[in-house]
Structures are given as C-alpha cells and as structure tokens.
Amino acid sequence: MTPWFNTRKAAQVVAFFAHKQGGAINVLKAAKLVYLADRRNMEKYDFPITGDNLVSMDHGPVNSLTYDCINGMQGARPDWEQFVGGRAEYSVGLANAGMVIADLDELSEAEIETLEETWAEFGGMSQYQIRDWTHDHCLEWEDPNGSSAPIPFARVFKYLGKSSPDELEAQIKAERSTRVAFLQS
C-alpha cells in the first residue's frame, strides 16, 4: 500500500455510504459515491477527502486504491476491516452493524457535510444511474477502452472551473509528501 494513502479514512468514507444505504451497498455505487464525494470536496475546499489516485475506468471515474480495497485486492488491512466487511457478490457492507456516524473519527465535520451532500444528491440513484451521470458530467473522465488511465487532480480542478489547477494539484502532492515524511519519522 502506498504510505500516503489513509486506508482508515477511505474505509470510513465507504462505511458512511454503506450506513446510509442501510448497512450494505453495491460495489459500483460505493465506488462512484466515493469519487463524487472527493470531487465535491475538491470543488468546495480545493482538496479531496481521501487523496486517493483517481483513474478513468470503463464504468467511469474511481478512486483507485479505495476501489482495490473494496474488491479485497489489498490483502488484510485492519484499518479497513474495522469499518468495512468483505465483499459479498456485488455488495460491501459495514463490519459492525451498530456503527454510527460518530464512529468515523478520521472525518472532519466539513467532510461529513460533503458526504451528506453527496448522499442527498446521488444516494437515491442506482449504480448505473450514477455511472451514467459521471460519464455525462465528469468531463475529466476519458473512456479507457477496457483499461484504466490516471486522472490528474489538475484535470478535475480544470473541469471544476478552478483558476490554478496545477497549483492545487501541487498542494495535494505536497500533503502526500508530508504524510509520508511523518509516517517515516
């Protein structure tokens, strides 16, 4: 796992949406909601919630490492498994059915507000409706034709209408470096 990636925080974002969905959520829907929440936070605060790598995939944009965790492709991750249970068919659920939003200690009040707004706008949609919405409205997504392709943060900022997309991307990368330095000290 990449040292700057906060697995616990990403798990809490997924757990938030699983909780809102009633305890379990479709994998594709979860992946889309995580991406849209990061995108909304970038629009509001110039910074994503998870800071994950963004990629274009056939079904639209996703957060790469979070998506891998949802699919169990990162191996045993205690910080993930504390909040999100294993994938079952096309769904992923809460590790603890008694979880409440107050248990999500990695998320700030502003981030919870962003997640609430994302849920209010997209929570009532099916995974395919959200996928189609991202294809039509997330102009940073480019069809990878069966593969995946990175989405630079600067491209997201550009399509969000931000005036200095390259500088904003540099701030995200600097934050990642700071986290790596902190974890290595």
Domain boundaries defined on the chain = 7-178
The DSSP secondary structure of 60-84, one letter per residue, reads EEEEHHHHHHHTTTT---HHHHTTB
Do the Cβ atoms of 124 and 133 come closer than 8 Å?
Answer: no
Q: Give Rg (Cα) of the chain.
A: 15
Question: What are the tokens at 44?
Answer: 């509001």
Q: Per residue of the chain (185 residues), give pLDDT as tens.
A: 576 889 999 999 999 999 999 999 999 999 999 999 999 999 999 999 999 999 999 999 999 999 999 988 766 578 899 999 888 889 999 999 899 999 999 999 999 999 999 999 999 999 999 999 999 999 999 999 999 999 999 999 999 999 999 999 999 999 888 876 666 66
Greatest C-alpha distance within the chain: 45
Q: Name the helix (H) or strand (E) containing 14.
A: helix 7-20
Other CB atoms within 10 Å distance of the CB of residue 181: 11
Residue 100's pLDDT is: 92
Do the Cβ atoms of 144 and 129 come closer than 8 Å?
Answer: no
Order of strands, sheet of 60-63, starting from the edge strand that comes earlier in the sequence: 60-63, 54-57, 149-150
Question: What are the tokens at 39?
Answer: 């995108």
Residue 87's pLDDT is: 82
Do the Cβ atoms of 13 and 115 come closer than 8 Å?
Answer: yes
Question: What are the tokens at 177?
Answer: 């470096």
pTM over 0.85? The answer is yes
